[in-house]
Amino acid sequence: MSRPGYIWRSLTPAQRTELLAARLRQKHPWHSPPHRPNHGHLRFHLTAACYEHAPHIGHSAARLDDFSTALVNVLTAHSRQVYAWCVLPNHYHALVEAPDILILLRELGRHHGRTSHAWNGEQNTRGRKVFFRAVERAMRSDRHIWASLNYVYHNPVHHGYVVRWTDWPWSSASPYLAQTGPTDAARIWHDFPIRDYGQGWDDPGL
């Protein structure tokens, strides 16, 4: 099994360009976060990881591609809006507005189960635990959601897979930047920094 990031780093520039173009042709949804208070806590940052952080998702570029497409389909079917998403070799993040988060978590669990069954069959590893459960964090303010959006998109850079957000094919960063524009995206990055992200999640002022 390939270790995290090795598949992407081993691709030629031409292969990377084609993969990025193929992902963009799929036109996955992206909607900018609303500029309004949401005190009902309908917006959530979702995170799920492979068991013991093993790079099961990143077994191959094709697996990353297929998993990302299926994940976005689940998110779209059970969310009011999908603001941002990013899939890495051993975990993923999504930022959504979901009227019933428990239903979405249940469907993500089913997606994990279907995926685990298929992958274990492919690799003759029946009984292997592939995923740890998905967890949610309620967004407490618009500031919180914009910082979370930056965090989601910066994850591949943070983990050293790529240098720029748009270099990573398995996220909605490219349509976000195309719609937002470089000037506004830079302003959002500056105004809602991710340093120490994860500390004080529940602070209403975040």
Tens of pLDDT, residue by residue over 144-195, are: 999 999 999 999 999 999 999 999 999 999 999 999 999 999 999 999 999 8
Task: Give the range of the structural domain holding residue 184, as residue numbers without chain letter.
Answer: 6-191
Question: Does 203 reside within a domain?
Answer: no
Residue at 204 is within a domain: no
Whole-number mean pLDDT of the chain? 85
What CATH number did the domain enclosing 67 receive? 3.30.70.1290
Is residue 19 included in any domain, yes or no?
Answer: yes
CB-based contact 101:41 (threshold 8 Å): no
- Whether residue 10 lies inside any domain: the answer is yes
Q: For the chain, what is the domain count?
A: 1
Q: Is the pTM of this model over 0.85?
A: no
Q: Which of 19-33, 58-72, 144-158 has the lowest mean pLDDT?
A: 19-33
d(Cα 106, Cα 202) in Å, to the nearest integer? 23
Q: Report the percentage of the chain scoring pLDDT > 90.
A: 72
pLDDT of 20 higher than 70: no
CA torsion 191→195→196→198, rounded to 10°?
Answer: 70
**According to the model, what pLDDT value does residue 39 have?**
45
